[in-house]
Structures are given as structure tokens and as C-alpha cells.
Amino acid sequence: MANVIQLKSGKYETVFDLEDLLYLVEQHMGSDARRLLEDLTAPDDDAAGYIDSLEKEIQELRDHHKAVMRELRTLSETEARLIQEREIDRQALSTVAGKIGTITWRECNVG
């Protein structure tokens, strides 16, 4: 969106974007003022790097979460199969339940 501004001289200028404003600043205040305004409006490289690292960490957490959910699903399917058998193998059922307990404890307390 265009903005019309009135300069101190009374002249009107149309500013469409930051580049237009920087041009006017340079024309009326000099190149040092333009560079200062560019520096003040430039994205912070440290912030960009920090955001990139956060995005990478989030993706790693998502991947870990999916892997844990797949593992829990496999164990729960095994548990369901064991329960449906004619004779319940309590040892196998206990082993599967123990693995589920270990995974959930780890995720709640360590991860």
C-alpha cells in the first residue's frame, strides 16, 4: 500500500516500500542516515540464527515423538494380541506392559 508523505519543503512524495523511504532519506539526509536506517530496520542475524536452531530442535522433537508413538503402537498391538489368545501368556503380557511402562516413564521424566 502506498503512503503519501509531506516533506519539510512542502513537497509530497509517495512511498511504496522501505526502499522508497531509504531513497528519500538518502536524498534529504545523506548516505550516513540511510545506512543507519538500514541497520536499524535490518533483521537481526542473531535472532534469525536462534530461530533456525529452535526450528531444528522442534523438528527433532517431532521426529522423536513420532518414533516413540510408533513404538508404543507396536507394543499395544502386541498386548492386544496377547489378551485375545485363548490362554493368556502372563509372562509375555507382563513383558510388554513393562516395556510400555519404561517408555512412558522415560518420556515423562528424562526426555
- 29-42 pLDDT, tens per residue? 999 999 999 988 88
Residue with cell 519404561: 102
Read off the C-alpha cell for 25.
532519506
pTM above 0.75, yes or no: no
Roughly what angle, to the nearest 10 degrees, separates helices 18-29 and 31-41? Answer: 150
Domain chopping of the chain, boundaries? 3-41, 57-109
Determine the Cα angle at 11 with ends 9 and 14, to 5°: 135
Flag whether pLDDT at 45 surpasses 80.
no
Flag whether pLDDT at 3 surpasses 60.
yes
Flag whether pLDDT at 17 surpasses 60.
yes
Q: What is the per-residue pLDDT across 47-61, written as a single tens digit (0 to 9) for each?
A: 788 888 999 999 999
The conformation of residue 7, written as its DSSP 8-state character, comes to -
Determine the Cα angle at 52 with ends 46 and 58, to 5°: 135
Could you tell me what percentage of the chain is helix, strand and coil, using 3-state DSSP and rounding each to the nearest 5? 75, 5, 20
Quote the pLDDT of residue 48.
80
Quote the pLDDT of residue 26.
95
